[in-house]
Every structure is written in C-alpha cells, then in structure tokens.
Amino acid sequence: VWMLENATYSVLSPEGFYFYEKKLALNFIKISRNTLVNFEQIRRLETDFVYGVLLYLGDEKLPVSRRYLANINKKLEEGAKK
C-alpha cells in the first residue's frame, strides 16, 4: 500500500481492492476501477478532450471513469448542501 498526499491509495494486498473500498468508504470515493481518492482532498474536476474528466488532487491529475462520475457528482452535491 502506498499513499500520495494522504489522498490516493494504490493497493496490492491479499484482501483485495474491495476490502479497502468498504473500509475507507466514509471519506474516500472510487473514481475508476482501481482508484480511490480522499473526497476532501479533491481540488476540482475538469473536462479534458483526451481523458474526458480529470480530477485534481493538489498538482496531481487523475482520470475519472465515466462509470463513477455520477457518484462523484452526487457526493459533491451532498457536500454543497451541508
């Protein structure tokens, strides 16, 4: 397991990705099949001609899968209501 700016985990473990996805569900959100990010560390989302949507965590740019974009938008709306 490695961490990038306390925001992104890359997991190679016997428990598998699903284990960490459920364990970190409160603060982390899935942006692709194998990427979880700390929701509070998201700086912005931006459309990109090549990748579709990019998510910014500080200086890091990560591509967002269209499959998970609806979940991110939903969480952003919930955060805006608070």
In the prediction, which pLDDT does 10 show? 58
pLDDT tens-digit profile of 9-38? 555 566 777 777 787 777 888 888 888 888
CB 32 within 8 A of CB 65: yes
pLDDT tens-digit profile of 38-78? 888 888 899 988 878 999 988 888 999 999 999 888 888 88
Instruction: Using the structure block, give the residue that is written with the tokens 């700016």.
Output: 5
Q: What tokens were used for 52? A: 């579709």
Instruction: Using the structure block, give the residue that is written with the tokens 């016997």.
Output: 14
3-state secondary structure of 71: helix
What average pLDDT does the structure give for the chain?
78
In the prediction, which pLDDT does 3 show? 47
